[in-house]
Each structure stands twice: as C-alpha cells, then as structure tokens.
Structure 1
Amino acid sequence: MKKTRKKKKSKWSIFLKPIKIILYTFLAVMVLGCLAGGAVFLKYQKEILACKEKAESIMSKTSKSDFSQPTDTRIYDSSGTLIGTINSGHYEYVPIAEINESLQNAYIAQEDRRFYKHHGIDYIGLLRAGLVYVKNKGTITQGGSTITQQVIKNTYLSQERTFQRKLTEFFAAPQMEKKYSKPEILEFYCNTNYYANRCYGVSEASRYYFDKEAKDLTIWEAATLAGISNNPSKYDPVAHPETSQKKRNQIISNMALRKLITEEESTFAKEQPLTVAKIYEPGMKENYQTSYAIHSTTLELMKNDGFVFKYVFNNKTAYDAYKEQYQEVYQTKSDMIRKGGFEIHTSLDTNIQNLLQSNIDERLKKFKDVQENGKLALQGAAVCIDNRTGYVVAIVGGRGTDDEYNRGFLSKRQPGSTIKPLIDYAPAFESGFYYPSRLVNDNLFDKGPKNSGGKYFGPISVREALNRSLNTVAWQVLADIGVDKGIAYLGKMRFIGLSYMDNGNTSMSIGGFTEGARVVDMAKGYAVLANKGMYSNKSCITSIKSQYDGEVYNQNQADDRIFTEDTAYMVTDVLKGTLDKPYGTGAGLGLNVPAAGKTGTTNSNKDTWFCGYTKYYTTAIWVGYDTPKAMPGVYGKTYSGRIWHDFMAEINKDLPAMDWDMPATVSLSNVDSIGEKTTSETGRKDLFSSIAEAAARSDSSKWQQEEERKKLDSQSQKNLESAQASKMAADQAAAAISATIAELNGLQYRDSTTDDKINTARKLLEQLVGTEYYDGLKPQLESAINHAMSLPKKEESTTKPQEIGPGMTKPVETTTPVFPGDMDPGGVGQPDGSPGGFDYGPVQEEPGM
C-alpha cells in the first residue's frame, strides 16, 4: 500500500487561508442574512410594505415649507405699530448661508461623518445599530440614523424608537436625497432641531444661549448647540452645565479628529468656559386689541375654509349641532394662530383705543369694590367703529388693562331698550305700515310690559314713543310685524347671542334675550343705521399673512343691505330726538355735530347701555357687573351715556358738522291729527317713504286692513275731538254760570243789566243738561236769582248829556243818590279778569297730537 504524500504548503497558502475563512464566513453570514431577511420579510411583509408605502406618501407630498416651524404671530395696529406677539418660541428660519460653518461641521463630525458620501443611508452605521439591536434582544438603544433620516424623523415621524419608524426612515431617506441637495438637507436639519428651553431652530437657540445670530457662532458655541440637540433634556447647559460642557468637548474632539478644525482650534475651544446668556424675549400678554384681532382672524380663516355661519335657529337640535360644529372649527383655527406663523394687520387705532379706555376708567373710578377673583366688580366695555370705512377702530373689554377677559366681544348681556331701533322700529319702517308719525296706543296691556316710571300716554306717535323709550309701544310694534321677522333682521346683522328659545318671544322687543347681545354686535347694528342701512362685513382685520401661504385675507368683502336707505334715514332722524328733545331719554348728551342714539336700562338696572353715532363714528357702551346685580340710580343716560358723550365729543370735535342726506324717496309731508299724511296744511310735518309705502301696498290684504284702521282711527279722532270740544264748552259754560252766581249773590241792588245776566245764565244752564255740572249748578243759580230779584231796583237818570264841544258830551249826574258799596269793585267780569260777557272762542287742537 502506497503512502499518501502530503502536499507541500506554499507560503501563499498560509497567507490566503485567513482570507478564505473570512470570505466563507462573510458568505455564510450573507446567506444566513438573506435567509433571515427573507424570513423576516415573510413574517412582517405587511408591516414592511406599509412602511414603504408611508415613506412614498410622505415624499410625494413633501415641500420646503415642511421643514420650518411657525414664527411668532405678530399683530399690528392701524399705523403699523406692533401691539402684540403670540409667542411660539420666536422661531425664525435661516438659510444655510447664514448658519456658521462650525455648526455644520459639528453636526457632520458628531452625527453623520459620511454625510457627503452616502445617499441617505449609512449602511455601516446601520449594521452597527443592527448588531446592538440583536444584542439587546429587540430593544433599540442607539441610532445609526443619518442626518437625512433625522430630518425625516423630526418633520414627519414620532420620536419613538420603533422598528416601524426606522424602517420608514430607511425607505424615505434615499428619496429625499434625490429631491433635495446636501446643503438643503443640512439646512432643514439645523432649522428643525429642538435646543431645549423652548428654542426651536438654530436661530432662536443662538439668540437665547449666546445673544447672537447663527452666522456668528464660534467653534465652542457651535459644538454646544450640536450637543444640546442630540439630547435636549440631558445636555441643556442651563439645567446641566457640566454634562453639557463634557458633551461640547467631545464634539470638539470629533471635529479635530475628522480634520474639520485644527488641533490649536480644538484646544482653544475646549478652554472656553461654558457661559450662556439666556436672552429670552417673552411673548406679549394678550390685551383687548390683540384678543379681538385673534378672534376676528379666526373667523376669517373659517370663512376661507367655507364654514357656513348661522345666527338664527329653528329648534334646539339645529342650535346644539351648530354650536358643537362651530366650537370645534373655531378652536382649531384659534390654536393655529396661537401656534404662530401669522402676521396680522388691523384697523385698531391705538390713540382712539387709549382715549376710550381712559374715559371708561375715569367715569367708573369711584367704584372700587372687587370680585373674589380680584377683578373690579363694576365693569364697562365699549366698541367704536369708523363709519367711513366700516372697520372697528377701538374695543375696550373692561376697566384697566390688566384684565385679559374682553367683554367687548366675549360677554353677552341683556341690551335693554337699545335693541328697539334694530328689532322693532327699523323692521317696522321697512314694512311700510309704520312711520315716525304713526300713532300707537300707549296703555298697560294684559301680559304686556310696563313703562319705566309707570306713566302711559294713550295715542302717541312712534317718534315720541321711541324718544321716551315706551315699552308698551315697542312691544306692540314687534308683535304686529312678527317677532321672528324682527329676529331675522338681527340674524342678518350677525348677532351671536340669538337662541332658538327667542323665537316668538315678544320680550325681545325690549331686550329680553335668552343669552344676550355682545357690545360689538350692538355697535355694528347701529353702524348699519349710520351707513344708510348697509352692514359692513369688516371687523378689524386689514391683512392676514401666513408664513406658508402668503396673504390669506379677502379684503373685497361686499357690504350687505339690511335696511333701505329710507328706513335708516328715518330711524336716525327719530333717534336724534333722544338727544335733543326735552323728553328724550338721552336729553343733554348732544354733540357739536349731528348725532343720534339710544339709551338702554334693563330690569333693576342690571345692565345699562348707550349706543349712538355720528356720520363719522358709531360707539356702543355697556356698564354693569360681571355677575348681574341691581344698580339703583344708574341708567343708560348716566354712566354709559356720559362715557359715550365725552368720548364721541373728543373724536368728533375737529370734524365738519355733517348731517345725513335725506333720500329722494323720503318726503317731509303734512300730518293730520291721527299721524297720517295729508295734503292739508296742518302746521305739523313728518317723514314718509315712498319705497316703504310701495312695499306696504304690495301686501294687499294688510294694506286693506290698514286703510280700514285709518278710517276707524280718523272717526275715533273726530269723535274724540268732538267730545273734547263739548267738554271744553261745558267747562266754559259752567265757569261762566259759576261767575254769574257769585256776582248775583254779591249784589246789593239790581239794575237793568241784572235780568240780562240771569237770562244768559239760564241759557247756559240749559246747555249743561245731561252733564256732570247741571245738577250742582241749577239750585245754586236759582238761589242766586231769587236773591237778586229780592233786592231793590236802582233808579237810573234820564237826563240827556250836555254837549261841551263838537262831538263831545259831558255826563250828567243822576238825581238818585249813590250808596256806599253799590258799585261792584272792579266791575262785572270773568274769573280770568277779562271784560264782562263770555266768548266761547274756537276749539283748540291739543298740542302734540
């Protein structure tokens, strides 16, 4: 048997053997890896495909705006002055050219040393992370993510360390690298990192920690920021300065190791003490101007999304459903604004705002009681609108400037009589069946309201009833035109405080709302009267710029016609009387320019108002307690009216005294005794609208009813005038008889005139048959006659007068002696001192009818 001969090993075989082992091992690992990968894929196929699909969806929709945080929302007044900042971290996006190269190098050295070489995935880093993952039995304890992957995580994914998130990053990163350049991705990274202490993005972090811009960072400052963003809670230099410095120095060493800085620079940077400036600019506290601006901006954003606003509701179901929908959308938009990213320009005039605030504070300064929450108990709120533009120029939500609760648009209060022009009289004038001179019977009705002071005037014109603020008349007017019709007009004027429970509620006529009215809504409602019946859709917003979408405010919002120009003019003309009529509830509050307005006081004086306007401005004022309670002696004319007067006098003082132009379709016509238009000259005139009359005529059935009413009223007035004339004649006759009785009883003798007086008195007494005077005067007169007839008769001279000159005579003395007391002192005359005899005179028309 032959011996097997061993092959002689060459020196190359010794050298190649380890390589073969490594290759075989690598191939084995690769095979096993493929097998394991296949197994994993088969097991988690759905999850993997889902992650891939998610990554594709993300990258298909990505845009550069995704990689920036919202900036602070800033609010400006009408002059462009910043009046409010809603702090979202003072974020500012900076381009890569304005980020110091030291920070870029720090991130590359620490986070992704092969950043400029890979295409989104660092497979070596990923392999290292995978081995650790296996070692820790499925628990992810370290990354391996590239800067590209971290940008995706920061922007689109959660911070949780899960397999699904890592896999989504894995699929998305290569796609991002195809879409964006390396500098752009590094720019996104610096602007999306969080640096602790509410610092989002490198710009705010640079200002907060080092009081400088990102382009001016030193090596050690850049290394500090890179360390913070690696783990903000752990490496925060404010909370953990030692840990932060250690991390900083580690990053500096890595920068030197990667030849990104020199050893000298590294040594110098490490020697620098870790000092931070902590320069933090807090957001401004919300004030009355900014809170209303945010509210108005919220509504504009809702409009942009097509939200349909509703104000009048048929039932509880519709009301509740709308309120829920509104609140959800409103909150979303409001939160969006407060998170930042908006620049809001307003019409709010800070000078006018300060004047209005100071007037409220000054007038109410003596009321010093406070609530349990520390706020002043008695409060005031006001809104001023520039009628020339339709914009709100001032809104005061309370006394002082420390109270953030803005009662100008947040609080709903009972409006009292200030609602009457808007819900009662203007809609009634629109119908054509009511006009300033129309008479309405002012009486206390069963289940009706009472007039303030308990006084009732009977038939009274609408004009005077509104100036006197008579509740019974307003109540009748709204009941006649229909409560829901009046409410519909408030809905057209965007009144927020309307409820389904108000439908058919006649107490709405005098301000009896279920919820109440806002001050801003009252101001905008009165501005409709000031602006020829047009409602302005403007609030206080003149521009809204989004950080991402540019200008998003529609400035071309057309005004809405609410009332005809005729109605607005006639109501305005009537409301002037509130200020200039002696019986007007706002008498004494007139201005140096034509003005109109209305007072309002609720039950027990719990809410007091004054709403009024000139050609230039409309202002609504409310005074009351946050928790309503009685305010004895406080009325709409007192505090609210005085605040209105003082404020409006100041802002109108340098303006021309412009009045409202009477429309061509309004006429000043003669008015008869029942307040109706007549061609006869009566000496009294008032306003009538041909447009309103045409509207009334179009309702043929009601027009006929009104014509019948006018006939009845005319006949009733004639009967009343006849009765008044008869009463006056009876009063005069009774007075004449009483004077005659007194005269007869005072005689000491009778003469030739005595019989004439007796006959006249008896004729007058016959006229009083059937009156309240007859039975009382008859026996008195008979007794007086008997007395007179029992007296001696005085003898009179028959001697002719002696002529003493051409056309002149001299009286001749009688032969009958004159006894003391015979002459009636002062002669026989009337009680008012007029000469003897009785003049019935013409029947006088009662003033004011």
Structure 2
Amino acid sequence: MKKKRRKRKSAWAVFFKPIKVIFSIFLILMILGLGAGGIVYLKFGDEISACKERADQIVAQSKREDFSQPSDTRIYDSAGQVIGIINTGHYEYVPITEISENLQNAYIAQEDKRFYKHHGVDFIGLARAGVALVKNKGEITQGGSTITQQVIKNTYLTQEKSFIRKITEIFAAPQMEEKYSKADILEFYCNTNFYANRCYGVAKASLYYFNKEAKDLTVWEAATLAGISNNPSRYNPVTHPEAALEKRNKIIDNMQKNGMLTEAECEEAKAQPLTVAKVTEEGTKETYQSSYAVHCAAQELMKNDGFEFEYTFADETAYNDYKERYQEAYQEKSDLIRNGGFEIHTSLDSTLQTQLQAGIDETLAKFTDVSDNGKYALQGAAVCIDNRTGYVVAISGGRGTDDEYNRGFLSRRQPGSTIKPLIDYAPAFETGYYYPSRIVNDHLFDKGPKNSGNKYYGEVSVREALNRSLNTVAWQVLADIGVDYGTSYLDKMHFVGLSYLDNWNTSMSIGGFTEGARVVDMARGYSVLANGGMYSNNTCITGIDSQYEGDLYQENQPEERIFTEDTAYMVTDVLKGTLNQPYGTGYGLGLSIPAAGKTGTTNSSKDTWFCGYTKYYTTAVWVGYDTPKAMPGVYGKTYAGKIWYDFMKQCNEGLPAEDWVMPSTVAYYNVDSRGEKTSLETGKQDLFSSVAEQNARSNSKKWDEEQKMKEENARAAAEQASRDAAAQGQEQAAAGLTALIGELNGLTYRDEATQEMISQGQSMLDLLAGTEQYDALKQQFDEAADRAEALPYEEQSIPPSQEIGPGITHEARPGEAPSSTEDVTSGQAPVVQPGAAPGGFEAVGPGGQ
C-alpha cells in the first residue's frame, strides 16, 4: 500500500502558527475574563456602582484647597505684629515651582515611572500588583497605584488596603487628570504627604530635616524625603537611620536607572552621609492677649452659625439647657481655631498691654507669697476698652507672663459696689423717679445691709449716696425699681454668669452675685456710661481669615442702646464726685482730664475693684486672691485704684481734656431741701432730665403714687423738723434755766430785776413741760426762786425813766445821776420774753417752723 505523501508546509504557515496559538489563547482568556468579569459584576455590581458614584462625587466636589493641611493659627495685634502662634505642625503649602525637581524626579522614579504617560491609572502597574496578589494568595502586598491615585487616597479616602478603595481610585483617577494638570497633581502630592515627626507637607519636612526650603533640596535629601513618605514609621531617619539610608540609596539607584541621574551623580549622592537637622519651631506660649483673642474669635464663629447668646434665665432648667448648648458650640469653634488654618486680627495694642501689665506687676510686687500651684497668691486683672471704637485694647489676666490662666475673662468675682451704677442707679434714673438730688434715707433696717464702718447719714441725696457708696441706699433703690428690672440691664450689656438664683437676689444691689462678674464685663458696662448709653458689640476681633473660607468676621456690628443719653450723662456727672469730692470713696484718684469712676470692696475686702473712664478709655481693675481671702485694710481705692490711676494717667497722656457734652434734654434746676425742683433761688442746683421726667409721667398711676409719696415725705419731714426744733428749743431752755438757777442761788439781795429773772425762769420751765428734765429742774427752780424772794431788798443803782412830758420818757445817759434812789444790779440775766428762748433765739413749739 502506497504511503500518503505529507503536504509540505509553506513558510507562511510556519510563521502564522504560533500567532494563531497566541490569538486562540488570548480569545480563550478574554472569554474567560469576560465570564469571570460578568460573574464578578453580578456578584459585586452594587458595590462597583457605588464606587463609581463615589468617584464621580469626589471629582465633582474637588477643589484645590482640599490638598493642603491647616497652617498654624496666627494672632496679630493692632499693628499687625504676631502676638501668638498656635502650633499645628507649622504646615505650609508650596507651589510646584518652589519644589525641587530632584524631589519630583525621586517620586516619579520610585512611585510612578509612567506618570507622564498614563491618564491616571497605570494598567501595567496594576498587572504587576495582580501577579503579587496571586502569589500571596489574595493578600494585598503592593498597590500598583499611580501618584494620582495616591493623591486621591491621601485626600479623600482611607489608608485601608481594600478592593473598594482601589476600585474607587481607579474610577476617580482619570477624571482627576482631566480636571487638573500633571504639575498640579504632583504639587498636591508633595503637599499632602506625611514625613513623620509631625511634618505634613514638603515645606515643613525640608525645614525639619535639612533646615532649608523645598526648592533647595539636593538629590540625596530629596531621595530621603521620598523614602520617608513611602512608609513614615519604617523609614523615619530619626528613629530608624539605617533603614532610611537603605531606602534612600534604592531611590537614588532608581533615579539613575530612569535616566534622571548619571552614574557619577548617583554614586556621589549615595556617598553622602544621612544627617538630619531636626529644626523645630514651637508654638508661642499662650498669653493673656492670645487666649482672649481665641475666645472672642470662637464666639464670632458661633455668631456666624446663628447661635443665640443668653444672659438671664427663668429657672434652673433653662440655665442648664443653655449652658450645655453653649459649651458644645463653643468647644467646637475653639477646637477648630486651635486645629489651625486661621489668621486672627485684633485691636489689642501691645504698647498699652505692656503698660497695663507693668502696672499690675509693679503695684503688687511686694506681695511675694505663692500658692501650692506656684502662682502668686495675691492676683490682679484688668481690661481696657477704647471708647472711641468699642474695642478691647488691653487685657491682663494676672501677674507676670508665666500664668496662662486669664482672669480677665475666665474668672468671676463679686463686683461689690462697682455694680451699683449699672444695676441700681442708672436703671433708676431711667424710670424718671430717681435723679441725682433725690433724697433717700440712709439708715440701718431689718434684714438690710450695713454701710462700711457702720456709719449712717440719714437723709442724703442719691449723688452723695453713690459717692459715699452707701449700701443701704443702693439696696432701697433696687428694691424700689425691682431686681428683675435692674438685672435686665445687665442682660442687655451681655453680663456672663448671671444665675437663675439671682432673679430675686436683692443683695445684687451691692454686688452680691451667686457666681460673680467678669472683669471684661465690668469694663464693658462702664464703657456704656462713657459712650452715652450705647453698648458696642466689638470685642477685640477686627478680622478672621480662614485658610479655606476667606474672611469670616462680620464687621460693623450695630451698637445697642442700653441707657438714654441723659441717664449716662447724669450718672457720669455723679461718678466724677467719687474722684473729686472729699467724701468720695476714690478721692485723690482724679486725672488731669475729666474722669469718672467707682470703687468696690466686698465683705472682708476679699475682692477689691476700681472701674473708671475718661472720654477716651474705660478700664476695670480687680485685685484679690484666687481663693477668696480676707484682706484687712485693703479697699478698692488702694491697690486696684492705684493700678487704674497709673495706667489711665499713661494712656490718656497728651490727649485733650475733653468733657462729656450735656444733652439738650438735661439741665440744671434749683432744688429745695427735699432735692426737688423749685422756682425759688435756693443757692443749690442739680441735674434733671426732661426725657426721664416724661417717662415717669407716662405711667400716670405710678406718677400719682410718686407725687403722693413725696407729699407725705414732705409733711413727715416738716413734722420732724418741728420736733427737732422743739427738741432743740427745749435743750436750750434747759441750759438757760440751769444757768438762771445758778444766778438766783448766787444773789445776796433782791431788786426789781430779781422778779423779772424769776418770770423768765418760769417761762423756760413751761417749755420743758412733759420732758424728763422738768421735774428735777422745777424743784431746783422753785427752791432758788423762794430763796431769792426771801432776800432783803436793795434799791436799783440805775434810775428809772423820767416822765418829761405826756407820754415821753427820758432814759438816763451814762454819767447822769439817777432821779431815784433805786440801784441797778449788774450782771442780771438777759431779758427773755415769754415764749422766747434765752440768747435771743425763738423757741419752736409743736407745729412751728
């Protein structure tokens, strides 16, 4: 049988055979891949769709600001000088033009060799990662991520190695490269990487490790940073120098393999020792200025969110509810600021700050005792406000600069008598029923307060009562106008720390608060008086610039009317007397320009204050122990007053002696003995407000009651004056009668004058009827009169009048002989007409004036 001849294969057949095999395998793999993909999609389709939606959302909402970290929060004074830095790592964002090409090349050589060729996803790199995945039985050991994917991961996703995160990166990366350029993405990458040792971003890392800017990095320095960011904990050159050096050299080799370095440059870079500078920049220590600035900035951000601040509360529930809401909102904003990314511009004047701090430190320097916490036991705090702007310009929270506790706005202390103008007298002037000349009876009464030194002055004017700081008068005034009415003005002036327990607390009239008042609030309250009754919502913040959101400060916040201009002027006029009246509690603290103020001293002098102002500045000063302690002999005028005086003298130096302008609705009127307006010329005048009087008249019922009370008071005063005059007449009659009894007992003879003396004595005795002295003096007088009448008679030495014509008499002249033999005794008692007191005064009986 004949064998079949094999067909000879052509050269082309030989050539295409392997191609057919490869193509067949490819088709099989593609079919298998599509099948597997279909199975995967059916099983994980929802998750994949979610990844796609998430990726779309990321890119759509992406903005350049997302690729930076918050910088340090910096605080500036009014001159633009940095007065505080809150260290958040000293992060600084730098553009790609300020980043060394050596670092850019190191990252590309190490992390993404085809960075400039792919469109966000390197499929070759993914294949390499897939092979590693199979080799490691499903465990992800390398990512295959591009720099673009890593930027997405660092900024928007977690560091977890998961398929979901990887798929989201793959979907987002191409879109990201459509939105941003390659240079942008490399810039984002360098600024978002973490380089260990609190170094976020290449700028901070370059400074910390090599003490240079990012644009000046050498090859070996760039390779070191690229190695650190690959795995900060493993390649930290401070803690793992050997591993960091090995990683650095591998990156340098990769740079040479990718044509970025010559062999000589590669060897030179690897030959450099790995040294790090470890340059650190600490944040500034928190000062009285910076702590207050952060506090005010946090509250400004709360305002931006619409937080409604409250200051008085109906009950405990309302108080606790507000406190919880406030603390949560405040902490959020405070943390936000302290986490960085803000520039806070303030009105704080560093020159005035230095003067205020020196005043406290120098005045209290002799008190060297320290507490267990190492701080000075005796402390002081002060706040100064520029009345022309309403901004706080200086705040001292204690002695020295080492104590970070700012008593200027954190501490609440009993304000003592400094609260009287704000809660008692100014609100009372608003009613129209009180004014500087109004008379109030200063006396000790049941369950009422005592005056300092236990001195009481009876009926005094409101003006004098405030200058003398009489507690009983202040108590009566607040009780009359109502505690709720008085505290409503503290609410309007945003006093922090008022308790619901103070709603009926009459001791608030003299500074007896449940929780106390802050120094900054006292300064703000007095600045209202200095500014014609207007409250400024300015704190110390003039600007808040966010790294991400721009300017956040709402400027030109409207002022609030608290007191009428009339009330503010009249209270200010009264408070001038504290400084310039001899009985004023702050006498001697007057300045060379018009000023007003008030002292404050609590029980046992545990808290001492002075609050005062000029047209230009208002300053409140507190001195006391952190843990309240008695300070015998210390008053508001002493240390707090001296601090106020010394500082105000400095900050007002060279300013015109400008006084407050009297409103057209305020005028001087004559006042009578009851302090009421009168058309009579009394020689005494005081201020009255037509606005306040109209306010009073608008409440006709109250006005009628007030007028009736004044009439009753006037009638009672007249009766009391009559009684006082009668008592005075009786005292003088008793003294005259006693003298006359002595003269009668001293006589050795009697004459016509003797009988007149007895008649005068009887008249004086009649004035004493009903008094305790009557019986004793009557017995003495009767005995003396009986004795005198029993004496022998002697003729007068002075001749009687001679009748020289009908109805005409002639009085004897000196040297003229008497026409009769009757002698005139010398030394006779003065003639007192019946009903008249000795000495020529007129006796006043009941009902007399």
When normalised by structure 2's length, the TM-score is 0.93
Write out per-residue CA displacement over residues 682-717 of structure 1, whole angstroms, 9 at most, x where no aligned residue.
222211111111111111211111111111111111
- Cα 1:23–1:674 change in 2 (3 A) is same
Structure 1 stretch displaced more, 30-39 or 243-252: 30-39
For 2:382, what is the secondary structure of its paired residue? strand
Report the Cα distance in structure 1 between the residues aligned to 2:117 and 2:655, rounded to whole angstroms. Answer: 73
Displacement of 1:193 after TM fit? Answer: 1.0
Give how far 1:15 is off. 5.5
Partner of 1:221: 221
TM-fit CA distance, 1:604: 2.9
What pairs with 1:336-351 in structure 2 (closer than 5 Å)? 336-351=336-351
Paired residues of 1:800 and 1:812 also in contact (CA < 8 A): no
In structure 2, distance between residues paired with 1:792 and 1:706: 68
Match of 2:632 in 1: 632
Aligned-partner Cα distance in 2 for 1:16–1:445 = 123
Corresponding residue for 1:211? 211
Bigger drift between 784-793 and 173-182 goes to: 784-793
Which amino acid in the other structure matches residue 502 of structure 2?
D
SS where residue 734 of structure 1 aligns?
helix
**What does residue 34 of structure 2 align with?**
34
**1:157 is matched with which residue?**
157
| Residue 736 (structure 2) pairs with residue 741 (structure 1) | no
Tell me by how many angstroms 1:11 deviates.
Answer: 5.9
Q: Is the 8 A contact 1:59 1:172 kept in 2?
A: yes
AA partner of residue 367 (structure 1): F
CA 1:374–1:744 in 2, change beyond 3 Å: closer, same or farther?
Answer: same
Identity %: 67
Distance 1:799 1:382 in 2: 85
Check if 1:447 corresponds to 2:447. Answer: yes
Asked if the contact 2:47–2:164 (Cα under 8 Å) also holds between the matched residues in 1, the reply is yes
8 Å contact from structure 1 (residues 739, 830) kept in 2: no
In the alignment, structure 2 segments of 5+ residues that lack a partner are 802-811
Structure 2 residue aligned with 1:562: 562
Relative to structure 1, the CA distance from residue 8 to residue 150 in structure 2 (aligned partners, 3 Å threshold; closer, same or farther) is same
Cα 1:535/1:14, change in 2 over 3 Å: same
1:512 maps to a residue whose letter is: G
- 1:840 aligned partner: 841
**Which position in structure 1 is the counterpart of 2:809?**
none
Change (3 A) 1:4 1:715: farther
Over 3 Å counting, the alpha-carbon distance change for 1:630 and 1:135 in structure 2 is farther
Give the letter aligned to residue 57 of structure 1.
Q
Amino acid at match of 1:495: F
Q: Which sits farther off after the overlay, 630-639 or 284-293? A: 630-639
Shift of residue 742 of structure 1?
Answer: 1.6
State the match for 1:411 in structure 2. Answer: 411
Trace 1:493-532 onto structure 2 (pairs within 5 A): 493-532=493-532
CA-CA distance at 1:792 after TM superposition: 2.6
**Contact preservation (8 Å) 1:797, 1:814:** no
8 Å contact kept, 2:797–2:823: no
Q: Which letter does structure 1 place at the counterpart of 2:511? A: G
Q: Deviations over 1:216-255 (max 9, x none)?
A: 1111111111111111122122222222121111111111
Q: Which residue of 1 aligns with 2:553?
A: 553
Residue 24 and residue 315 in structure 1: after superposition, are their counterparts in 2 closer, same or farther (change >3 A)?
farther
Aligned-residue offset at 1:104: 0.9
Aligned residue identity for 1:109: A
C-alpha contact 2:76 2:344 (8 A) present in aligned 1: yes
Cα distance 1:36–1:2, how it changes in 2: closer, same or farther (>3 A)?
A: farther
Q: Distance in 2 between matches of 1:642 and 1:432?
A: 35
- Shift, 1:798, TM fit: 7.3
Q: CA 1:562/1:797 → structure 2, altered by over 3 Å: closer, same or farther?
A: closer
Written as runs of structure 1 = structure 2, the 5 A alignment for 1:69-84 is: 69-84=69-84
Q: Classify the secondary structure of the residue corresponding to 1:636.
A: coil
Cα distance in 2 between the residues matched to 1:112 and 1:691 = 81
Q: TM-score, normalised by structure 1?
A: 0.93
Cα distance in 2 for residues equivalent to 1:604 and 1:17: 111
Question: 1:389-445: per-residue Cα shift (whole Å, max 9, x none)?
Answer: 211111001111001111101111121221111111111111111111222233333
Partner of 2:297: 297
Equivalent position amino acid for 2:537 in 1: N
Aligned match of 1:777: 777
1:568-614 Cα shifts (integer Å, max 9, x gaps): 11111111222222222222222222221112222332222111111
CA–CA distance in structure 1, aligned partners of residues 254 and 211 of structure 2 = 26
Name the aligned partner's letter for residue 119 of structure 1: H
The question of whether the paired residues in 1 share the 8 Å contact of 2:420 and 2:509 is answered with yes
Judge conservation of contact 1:497–1:516 (CA < 8 Å) in 2: yes
Contact 2:73–2:340 (Cα < 8 Å) also in 1:
yes
Q: Give, as a single letter, the amino acid of the residue that structure 1 aligns with 2:222.
A: A
Does structure 1 conserve the Cα–Cα contact (< 8 Å) formed by 2:797 and 2:822? no
One-letter amino acid matched to 1:549: E
1:163 and 1:484 map into 2 onto residues whose CA distance is 66
Residue 218 of structure 1 aligns with an amino acid whose one-letter code is T
> What SS does the corresponding residue of 1:612 show, helix, strand or coil?
strand
Query: Structure 1 10/447 Cα, relative in aligned 2: closer, same or farther at 3 Å?
Result: farther
| Residue pairs, 1:319-358, within 5 angstroms | 319-358=319-358
Equivalent-residue separation in structure 2 for 1:495 and 1:722 (angstroms): 48
Which stretch of the first structure deviates more once superposed, 319-328 or 95-104?
A: 319-328
Shift of 1:673: 2.1
Query: CA contact under 8 A between 1:535 and 1:562: conserved in structure 2?
Result: yes
Matched AA of 1:310: E
Judge conservation of contact 1:120–1:177 (CA < 8 Å) in 2. Answer: yes
Deviations 1:62-110 (A, max 9, x none): 1111111122211121222221111122222111111111111111111
Whole-angstrom CA distance in 1 between matches of 2:814 and 2:502: 89
Gap change, CA 1:41 and 1:371, over 3 Å in 2: farther
Please give the alpha-carbon distance, in whole angstroms, between the structure 1 residues aligned to 2:602 and 2:668: 35
Aligned residues: 831
Give the secondary structure class of the aligned counterpart of 1:567.
Answer: helix
Residue 641 of structure 2 corresponds to 641
2:57 matches 1:57: yes
Q: RMSD in angstroms over aligned alpha carbons?
A: 2.6
Deviation at 1:452, TM superposition (A): 2.8
Provide the rounded CA distance (Å) in 2 between the counterparts of 1:737 and 1:430. Answer: 54
DSSP-derived class of the 2:379 partner: strand
Q: Where does residue 254 of structure 1 map in the other structure?
A: 254
1:40-59: CA deviation from partner (whole Å, max 9, x where unpaired): 22222332222222222221
| Cα-to-partner distance string for 1:465-523 (whole Å, 9 max, x where unaligned) | 22222222222222222212222211111111112222222222222222221110110
Aligned partner of 2:840: which letter?
D
For each residue in 1:760-793, what CA deviation from the matched residue of structure 2 results, as whole angstroms up to 9, or x when unmatched?
2212222322233322321121122122223233
**Aligned-partner SS, 2:695:** helix
- What is the Cα deviation at residue 327 of structure 1? 1.5
Q: 1:736 touches 1:830 (CA, 8 Å); kept in 2?
A: no
- Report SS of the residue matched to 1:92: coil
Deviates more, 1:437-446 or 1:556-565: 437-446
Superposed displacement of residue 815, structure 1: 12
The 8 Å contact of residues 430 and 564 in structure 1, kept in 2 or not, is answered as yes
SS at match of 1:344: strand
Residue 450 of structure 2 contacts residue 471 of structure 2 at CA under 8 Å; is this kept in 1?
yes
1:297-318 Cα offsets, whole Å, 9 max, x none, are 1111222222222212222232
2:840 counterpart SS class = coil
1:556-635 matches, within 5 Å, as 556-635=556-635
In the alignment, is the contact (CA less than 8 A) between 2:666 and 2:690 conserved in 1? yes
Classify 1:430/1:35 alpha carbon distance in 2 versus 1 (closer, same or farther; 3 Å). same
Question: Which moves more between the two structures, 705-714 or 127-136?
Answer: 127-136
Q: Which residue of 1 aligns with 2:537?
A: 537
What is the rounded CA distance, in whole Å, between the counterparts of 1:319 and 1:369 in structure 2? 38
Q: Name the residue aligned to 1:670.
A: 670
Alignment of 1:628-777 (within 5 A): 628-777=628-777
Which residue of 2 is the match for residue 191 of structure 1?
Answer: 191
Alignment CA distance shift 1:842-1:617 (3 Å): farther
Whether the 8 Å contact between 2:543 and 2:551 is mirrored in structure 1 is yes
Partner residue in 2 for 1:490: 490
Deviation of 1:800 (Å) = 11
- Aligned equivalents of 1:312, 1:809: Cα separation in 2: 87
* Secondary structure of the corresponding residue to residue 44 of structure 1: helix
Using a 3 Å threshold, how does the CA distance of structure 1 residues 842 and 777 change in structure 2: closer, same or farther?
closer
Q: Distance in 1 between matches of 2:243 and 2:844?
A: 107
Q: Distance in 2 between matches of 1:749 and 1:538?
A: 92
